[in-house]
Every structure is written in structure tokens, then in C-alpha cells.
Amino acid sequence: MQEPVTAAILVIGDEILSGRTKDKNIGTIADHLTAIGIDLLEVRIVGDRREAIIAALDALRRSHDYVFTTGGIGPTHDDITADCVARAFGVEIGEDAVALTLLAAHCERRGVPMTSARRRMARVPKGATLIKNAISAAPGFMIGNVIVMAGVPSIMQAMLADSTQYLRTGTRVHSVTIDIGRPEGDIAEVLGAHQASNPDVVMGSYPYFQDGAPKVQLVLRSREPARLACVARGLEDALRERGMY
Amino acid sequence: MQEPVTAAILVIGDEILSGRTKDKNIGTIADHLTAIGIDLLEVRIVGDRREAIIAALDALRRSHDYVFTTGGIGPTHDDITADCVARAFGVEIGEDAVALTLLAAHCERRGVPMTSARRRMARVPKGATLIKNAISAAPGFMIGNVIVMAGVPSIMQAMLADSTQYLRTGTRVHSVTIDIGRPEGDIAEVLGAHQASNPDVVMGSYPYFQDGAPKVQLVLRSREPARLACVARGLEDALRERGMY
């Protein structure tokens, strides 16, 4: 089996930290990475501050195969992500001819002027590959192992789809969920024993309330579907024996 | 004006990174901290891995006044947060008499047995203060500047409310939102110039789509309400002059 491919997400924006905007991108990217067999190992959220962005980006890009950033690539003064990425990689940043053409065509279609603010969105670090989106035309980009995307969810989703062609993907992790209509404390010992006997299948326990009653979902995860099915059946049998399933 | 009080959040759980569970706690904590005048400066999400949890916790607790953790304090084998926190602080962990009493009473009320798995939830690092919740009775705790809470949103919310009595709070940041019915690129130059002339009020620009049309909200933030109102009115006037508001 090949080495796992790992990733991190860096969400950039004061509005997430103030609570004004509730992030919707982390869950979307997490689902997508799981689907294409990339292990998301860490997420960080930082504000619109140059040093914080560069420090987080440098830490993450050195420890993971890929880093996906969201936010901070629009036309306004608080959009500083592209400059921070250029700085982190030690490369120049300038207007990209293809990005400019895409933006100009989009402005023409929409009948809005190509202001100098809008031109800012054509600035990308030297050597980057454009990540396109059909919604706003303003591109994201990939440089080294860093994929820079917009913060608006619909645009981020278009960019995430476009960026996937450039990624090395891995073997997908499959999961089985066992829904238990009783509190987590009831099944903890059986689950712990089953995890100890089957360390190759990762088992998680996720409590929730339904109509005020405590319930739990057990999730088993593995890259080997046959092994996963066998261990999941073993857990169901063990729970059934004790009248818990 | 007093020094700002700063905080970070550490979300712990494989289920968030796999995409299975969409985090709802970050936004809730962010809103609460804004309301009580604490500046949230960073968020990290890590999986259920001892080294990752301890490394993130140590980095965050050294750089911020408070760290709020969510997740990993239940009765199952994958709940390792309390042990990691004890390790990070270099203190012993053991059953807390008060926590055990709370749990035992809750089990009796619900008519469920006090299993050894449930007793695990009474284990807290030595010297910690219990953070209570009326929903599951299993307490969180505060040790040093770290507040350890559950991951289930309703329980987390109860713990967040209980923990607030132990926090040093600051001067609240107020905000004014100006809704602009046109794309961000139109107003970027006016906004940038106004930010440059008024560096003491932080201005952010948050684009969104409404029925497919690009619009933007401008958010101005300051700890001084009178100054905020004055700068916001100045921006509205500048936009109105150009027929943009």
C-alpha cells in the first residue's frame, strides 16, 4: 500500500475569528479530501495579519504534502493572502497575463469597469499555476504544495474541483457507521476491547442527543474494505451478545 | 484602555478532519468571546493523536491568555484530551471526588449503571477547577489558562457559560455593517482610501452572492463606539458621493 498523502487547511480571515462569518469551507474540503484519499491532519484559522499568515503557512507547508488556504484573495485592502504566500516562498508577485485576460472578459460580460482594485485579483506569485473558477473568474493559484482559494463557499468549491487535477491522491479511507440507540457510556467497554484487539481499524465514538435522549454513533475506518467489513461485523456481534444492538 | 485579552481554540477530533462531523463550536465560541471582549486570534483542529494534541496545546497556551479546547473528554478509548492536558502541564491525573459524585447522581437519576467507562469521565488533572454542565453532568475543567470542554454542541455551550465566571474579560469590540448592493470591486478603492485615513478602525470587506448577484458587506470594528460611528458615517458619505450607497 502506498504512503498516505497528507494535507492541512489554513483558513484566513478576521470575520471567522470574530464570529461574524461561520466557516463552511472546512467541512467541504474535509469531505472532498476523504473522497480522494488524502488525509487531512490539521486545520488552522488565523486573522488578516501578515506575520500570522506567513508563520502558519510555513509551519503547515513543511509538515504536510498539501496546504489548502481559503480567504483573502479579493480586490480590497484586507486581501493579503497572495502577497503573504509570495513572501513565504520568497518569490516576486505580479500581474499574470492569463488571469488579467480572464478578469477583463468577465468584467466585459458583466458590464463593470476594470478598476485598479479588480486588477489586484490578477496578481499571483511568479511560477504559480492558476486555479480557475467560472463564477467570479478571479483565479486562485497553486504554488509548490500550497493551493490558494477564495473564501466565498461557491467560488471555493469551484476552485477545489479545478485544483484536484494537480493533486497526488491516495487510497481512500472507507468507513462503517453503527448507530446505537443508547448512551455512549453503555458501549464504551465493548468498543475499547474491540479496538484493542483490532488496532488496524480506527474506531471512534460520537455521542449525540435525539429528542433529549443520549445516543451514539460508532465509526470504524480503514483503507481495506474487506477488513473493515469483518471488524465491523465482529463489533456488531459483540454488542448484540450483550443486548446492546 | 486596558490590554486586550486574547484566546485560541483547539478543536480535537478525527471526525472533524474526516468531514464526518461539521464543527459547530468554533462559531459559537467566537461569538461568545466577541461578546465578552476577548480577542480570538487563532483556531487549530487536530485529530485524536497524543503528540498532535500536546504540541498544539503547548503552542497555543504559551501565546494566548486563554485556550478553549473542545472534544475528547467522553468515556471511550478515543477520549484522550484530559490525559494530554495533564501531560502538557506535567501534573498527575486522577478521579476527582466532586466529579464522581456528580456523575453518580446523574447515573442514578437516569437509571444507568456507573461503569468503569463512565468513571473515566471523573478523571481530571490535579489542581484543575471543574467546569459544570447540567446536561450530561460529566464535567469539563480549567487548568492554568486552558479550558477543556466537551465536543457535543449543547454540552459545550453549557460549559462555555459556566467557564465565563473564571475569565478575565476585556473591552468589547463593537462593529457596524454597511450592506452594499453591488460587487466588491466597485467599492474597493473608496474603502481602501478610508481605511488608510482611519487606521484605528479595522475595516473588512465580505463579498457574497444574493440570487446570483455579487454583493458585499463592509464591516468596521473598534473598541470605541463614538469613533466607530463617526468613521462609519464618513465611509457612507464617501460611498454616497460616488453614487454607490
> H-helix or E-strand containing B82?
helix B81-89
pTM of the model: 0.96
pLDDT, tens digit, for every residue of B43-85? 999 999 999 999 999 999 999 999 999 999 999 999 999 999 9
Query: B204-234, pLDDT tens digit by residue?
Result: 999 999 998 999 999 999 999 999 999 999 9
What span, in angstroms and rounded, lies between the C-alpha atoms of B99 and B97?
6
Is residue A232's pLDDT more than 70?
A: yes
pLDDT recorded at residue A176: 97
Neighbours of A3 (CB within 10 A): 9
Burial A196-228 (b: 16+ CB within 10 A, else e): eebeebbbbbbbeeeeeebbbbbbbbbbeeeeb
The nearest alpha carbon in chain A to B7 belongs to A17
Instruction: Find the residue in B nearest to A135 (Cα).
Output: B212
Residue B25 clears pLDDT 90, i.e. is over it: yes
Third-level CATH fold of B174-241: Alpha-Beta Plaits (3.30.70)
Q: Is the pLDDT of residue A218 over 80?
A: yes
Chain A: residue whose CA lies nearest to B177: A20
What number is the ipTM of this complex?
0.95
Average pLDDT for A45-70? 98
Average the pLDDT over B131-137 and give the result: 93
- The answer to whether residue B1 scores a pLDDT higher than 70 is no
Q: What is the DSSP letter of A157?
A: H
Q: What kind of fold does domain A5-166 have according to CATH?
A: Molybdenum Cofactor Biosythetic Enzyme; Chain A (3.40.980)
CATH 3.30.70 residue window(s) in chain B: 174-241
Do B17 and A78 make contact, defined as CB atoms within 8 angstroms?
Answer: no
A77 vs B23, B135, B192: nearest CB: B192
Q: Binning pLDDT at 50, 70 and 90, where does residue A2 land?
A: confident
Q: In this structure, are residues B69 and B23 in contact, taking their beta carbons and an 8 Å threshold?
A: no
Distance from CA of A153 to the nearest CA of B (A): 9
CB within 8 A of A143, min separation 6: which ones?
A85, A89, A91, A124, A125, A127, A128, A129
Give dist(CA A21, CA A13) in Å, integer.
Answer: 9
Is B77–A188 a contact, with Cβ atoms under 8 angstroms apart?
Answer: yes
Residues of A in contact with B194 (CB under 8 A): none
E-assigned strand segments in B65-106? 66-70, 93-95
Q: Where in chain B is the domain with CATH 3.40.980.10?
A: 5-166
Reported confidence tier of residue A1, pLDDT bands at 50, 70, 90: low
pLDDT value of residue B74:
94
Cβ atoms of B194 and B203 within 8 Å: the answer is yes
Query: Does B2 score more than 80 pLDDT?
Result: no
